[in-house]
Amino acid sequence: MPLALQALLPDELARVCNIDVTDARRIVSTVHRTGGLPARSPATIRRAALDAARAAGHVPTIQIETRAASAIDPFVKYAFRLPDGAVIETVRIPLEHPGRFSVCVSSQVGCALACAFCATGRMGLGRNLEAWEIVEQVRRVREELAHDPPTNLAAAGIRPRVHGVLFQGMGEPMANIERVIHAIRVMSEPSALAIDMRNITVCTSGLPTGIRTLLREVPAVRLGVSLGSARPGRRRALMPIEGAHPLEEVLAAAGEHARATGRSPMFAYTLLAGQNDADEDAAALADLCLAFATAHGQRPRLSLIPYNAIADGTTPDPFQPSTRLEAFRAVLLGRGVGTIVRYSGGGDVGAACGQLARPLERGVRGRSSARPSEAPER
């Protein structure tokens, strides 16, 4: 099986091909800039090095199946078809600073964790993504921004660029942590995608070992934790992973991350009418945030996410959006806990938080390539 060259770092390519690392760096740069290897050796790369790279690997890609630009905001959702026929979704998110974008990437085909408020959770797990399939989502979005920039930016003479990456698309990234970490290393490599690790956030629904691995391997990366509820019984009903890994365990690992990095984690809380939006839910959430700050010296950044509809043709919506957002925030603020309300755009094209989903292709379900060390923790 040839190696996917866009998942190799320059020193890995140099080792595999027995070539000079300077040549390897230039080959990596070419692969990420053009999505392939040049037919003829450019003046900057020795022909023997290019031939060795060509013999060792190839540059597979993922095809854009659909591209849906929201009519209500500048979010864009891509459905990418992978070589085995599986389809994943990726979202291009405009940042406040004009010309900067974040890419919300998928790390698995589907997801095994079955959070009740998430469309991906209804799919079940197809398989883990390979590192190159994760990297390629960002590379394809970057390529489109370069070749076909949004008209308002082009008119203003602003060159758009991918500034950050968010692992909050389809799948639980901590359940595919080795490949996620490798993809992060490639994304942040200056000759590859050159994205500052501090602008990469990995969000988990609660796998403590994955949090510790992330801390050990790529400590500059930011951590997000999806809470669901601060009340264990309620959380378990919304997020079955609570049964295997109670929130207490997850927060202990997040606390280690916060203490070691000196950075606050992001806590995400999806507000669901009548499920987790009562005053007592807000009070429990405030207590949790304050206890975390006392124990670990970092106050979490609390992000409230309005629920986005996930009904499809066959399954109705299990929840309704909360109408208590301001009342909920007031209870938190009364206890000294500030919040951010996440604008989750692209709702009209199914790009908003919790909405990513695709029917699993025949044969993809259960064909997980997860090795035991990468499988969800029990």
Active site residues: 89, 353
Radius of gyration of the chain (CA): 21
Q: For tokens 């999505």, what's the residue?
A: 35
Least Cβ distance, residue 22 to ligand SF4 (angstroms)? 40
Q: How far apart are CA 184 and CA 167, in angstroms?
A: 10
* Collapsed DSSP state (helix, strand, coil) of residue 207: coil
Enclosing H/E stretch for 244 = helix 241-244
Closer to ligand SF4 by Cβ: residue 59 or 238: 238
Closer to ligand SF4 by Cβ: residue 117 or 150: 117
Q: List the structure tokens of 366.
A: 């259960």
Q: List the structure tokens of 33.
A: 């800039």
Q: List the structure tokens of 62.
A: 């993922």
Closer to ligand SF4 by Cβ: residue 24 or 113: 113
Least Cβ distance, residue 116 to ligand SF4 (angstroms)? 9
Enclosing H/E stretch for 290 = helix 279-296
- Which one, of 128, 125, 122, lies nearest residue 111 by Cα? 125
Least Cβ distance, residue 197 to ligand SF4 (angstroms)? 22
Whether 349 and 75 have beta carbons less than 8 Å apart is answered as yes
Whether 267 and 300 have beta carbons less than 8 Å apart is answered as yes
Whether 123 and 100 have beta carbons less than 8 Å apart is answered as no
Least Cβ distance, residue 145 to ligand SF4 (angstroms)? 25
Closer to ligand SF4 by Cβ: residue 45 or 239: 239
Closer to ligand SF4 by Cβ: residue 23 or 133: 133
DSSP string for 318-350: S--B-S-HHHHHHHHHHTT--EEE-----GGGT
Q: Which residues bind ligand SF4 (CB under 6 A)?
A: 111, 113-115, 118, 120-121, 170-172, 205, 226
Whether 111 and 345 have beta carbons less than 8 Å apart is answered as no
Least Cβ distance, residue 203 to ligand SF4 (angstroms)? 7
